[in-house]
């Protein structure tokens, strides 16, 4: 009986298998490249505005999928005096790691660990699309994540830390020592050197190219942090976003209770100064005894509100931003085998202009060859532009990657907070999707002609020039950068 049952089951499996397309002869299937899909449509989950009695305002996104609540609050700040550059970084670190009088750091951390919650403080800048935000000098972000059942307790700690930090002296000294050590070792990594020196040239004289000094770090005292907090930390100077397993009424009531007593005040934040006049093209070199050359080639980019931003994004995706399929990667890495890490970025900035740059990390004896190939891709993009097929693949690839920006409602909430912080339209992502759908290859060619300038490039090379395949002086007058030992 058992044997008959097994035979019957085997016959059934074979019958089903043989009836499937795999065994049904030569069934014609379309090539993946011929498959047709409906246009990608992304819709931002609905959100509601919230505003507290003390003037703090922001956004709420309801999400009952899991019993968790996320809160992000950004306080608008500004660059410190140049002589105390680094103050903002010390302030946010000590604020989180110093705690408040009611919640000193050890007690605070133990409580959060027990509740499986977190409260983190960092720079307010975060990338949105191609936006490059400044490193923590224009905003401070305070984030919370906890289970819904623990929200009253965690929110109490969160609000107290925001309103009443103590900035203990020993924490100020701890952070200062860390930053001084980082400053001492700032020339250890050639990748960091080439980044820093590039921005020092294209943003010359602007706060975007400032860097900390030993004298500056040593001059920062606790009173500076207290004054920083007093100047900026007011509810009417903050943007808040909440997502999670609560209703709007529940969270507004909870926030009103937690932030009771936090008083609004007049906060004067100046506009970010404009960039200096057009930077002249230059060749810059710093000696470092390494077995590779680190190269960065570029110029000032665009503002985030530039109407051609989407066309520029696709242009750069084809040029060097599209991973292994981009022109620079194909030519320098795949065809010539000159660099493992190479490509380009065209960054926007919400306040002034970002930066465009191509980069490569190559062997010393191929330095000039790698640069030549990169410049050739610049010229080809300007004079010929991409093919229709390259354009279409780039748009599809870029749009498909944007799906991950909509993975969670907390991501949507954070994006709304960032857009408000940057004073940009809240529907920017949706408008961008509409723009990408209407772009043509001619738009990309026009963007390349208008926004890609091979004759204005700032070139930074780090390495041992005696081992380069050609002297840099063959290309122009070289400015030698002396690195501190």
Check residue 43 and give its pLDDT: 61
Are 292 and 463 within 8 A, CB to CB? Answer: yes
218 assigned to some structural domain = yes
73 assigned to some structural domain = yes
Together in a domain, 216 and 321: no
Together in a domain, 218 and 332: no
Sequence-distant (6+) residues with CB within 8 A of 67 are 147, 148, 149, 245
Together in a domain, 103 and 143: yes
Q: Which residue, of 258, 274, 302, is where some domain finishes?
A: 258
Distance CA 157, CA 112 (A): 9
Q: What is the extent of the structural domain holding 353?
A: 282-421+429-481
CA 336 to chain centre: 31
Together in a domain, 383 and 299: yes
Together in a domain, 237 and 113: yes
Together in a domain, 203 and 124: yes
| Environment class of 16 (CB within 10 Å of its CB; exposed 0-12, middle 13-18, buried 19+) | exposed
| Environment class of 480 (CB within 10 Å of its CB; exposed 0-12, middle 13-18, buried 19+) | exposed
Together in a domain, 249 and 333: no
277 assigned to some structural domain = no
455 assigned to some structural domain = yes
Together in a domain, 221 and 321: no
131 assigned to some structural domain = yes
Are 354 and 131 within 8 A, CB to CB? Answer: yes
**Which pTM value belongs to this model?**
0.87
Together in a domain, 402 and 460: yes
19 assigned to some structural domain = no
Together in a domain, 214 and 287: no
Together in a domain, 389 and 444: yes
113 assigned to some structural domain = yes
Q: Which residue, of 212, 243, 258, is where some domain finishes?
A: 258
Q: Which residue, of 243, 258, 273, is where some domain finishes?
A: 258
Together in a domain, 136 and 200: yes
3 assigned to some structural domain = no
Stretches where the chain sits below pLDDT 70 are 1-45, 124-136, 404-407, 485
- Overall number of domains in the chain: 2
Q: 282 has which bridge partners? A: 458
> Residue 444 is part of a domain; what is its CATH number?
3.30.830.10
């Amino acid at each position: 009986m058992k044997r008959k049952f097994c035979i019957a089951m085997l016959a059934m499996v074979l019958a089903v298998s043989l009836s499937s397309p795999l065994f049904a002869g030569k069934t014609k299937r379309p090539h993946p490249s011929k498959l047709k899909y409906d246009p990608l449509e992304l819709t931002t989950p609905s959100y509601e505005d919230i505003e507290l009695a003390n003037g703090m305002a922001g956004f709420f996104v309801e999400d009952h999928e899991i019993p968790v609540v996320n809160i992000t609050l950004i306080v608008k700040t500004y660059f410190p005096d140049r002589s105390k550059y680094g103050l903002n970084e010390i302030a946010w670190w000590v604020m989180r790691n110093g705690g408040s009088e009611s919640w000193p750091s050890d007690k605070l951390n133990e409580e959060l660990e027990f509740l499986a919650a977190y409260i983190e403080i960092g720079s307010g800048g975060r990338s949105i699309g191609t936006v490059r935000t400044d490193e923590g000098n224009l905003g401070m972000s305070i984030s919370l994540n906890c289970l819904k059942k623990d929200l009253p307790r965690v929110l109490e700690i969160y609000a107290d830390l925001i309103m009443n930090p103590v900035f203990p002296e020993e924490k100020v000294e701890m952070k200062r020592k860390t930053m001084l050590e980082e400053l001492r070792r700032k020339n250890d990594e050639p990748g960091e050197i080439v980044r820093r020196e590039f921005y020092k040239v294209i943003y010359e004289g602007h706060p975007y190219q400032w860097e900390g000094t030993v004298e500056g770090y040593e001059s920062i005292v606790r009173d500076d942090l207290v004054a920083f907090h007093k100047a900026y930390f007011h509810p009417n100077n903050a943007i808040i976003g909440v997502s999670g397993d609560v209703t709007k009424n529940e969270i507004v009531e909870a926030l009103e209770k937690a932030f009771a007593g936090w008083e609004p005040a007049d906060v004067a934040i100046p506009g970010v100064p404009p960039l200096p006049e057009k930077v002249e093209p230059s060749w810059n070199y710093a000696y470092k005894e390494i077995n590779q050359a680190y190269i960065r080639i570029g110029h000032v980019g665009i503002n985030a509100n530039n109407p051609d931003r989407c066309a520029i994004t696709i242009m750069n995706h084809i040029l060097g931003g599209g991973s292994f399929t981009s022109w620079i990667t194909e030519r320098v890495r795949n065809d010539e085998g000159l660099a493992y890490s190479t490509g380009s970025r065209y960054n926007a900035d919400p306040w002034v202009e970002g930066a465009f740059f191509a980069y490569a990390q190559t062997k010393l004896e191929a330095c000039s060859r790698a640069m030549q190939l990169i410049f050739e891709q610049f010229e080809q993009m300007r004079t010929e532009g991409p093919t229709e097929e390259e354009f279409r693949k780039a748009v599809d690839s870029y749009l498909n990657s944007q799906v991950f920006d909509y993975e969670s409602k907390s991501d949507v909430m954070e994006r709304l907070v960032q857009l408000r912080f940057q004073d940009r339209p809240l529907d920017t992502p949706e408008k961008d999707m509409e723009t990408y759908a209407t772009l043509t290859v001619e738009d990309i060619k026009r963007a390349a002609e208008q926004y890609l300038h091979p004759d204005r490039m700032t070139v930074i090379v780090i390495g041992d020039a005696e081992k380069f395949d050609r002297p840099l002086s063959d290309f122009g007058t070289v400015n030698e950068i002396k690195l501190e030992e």
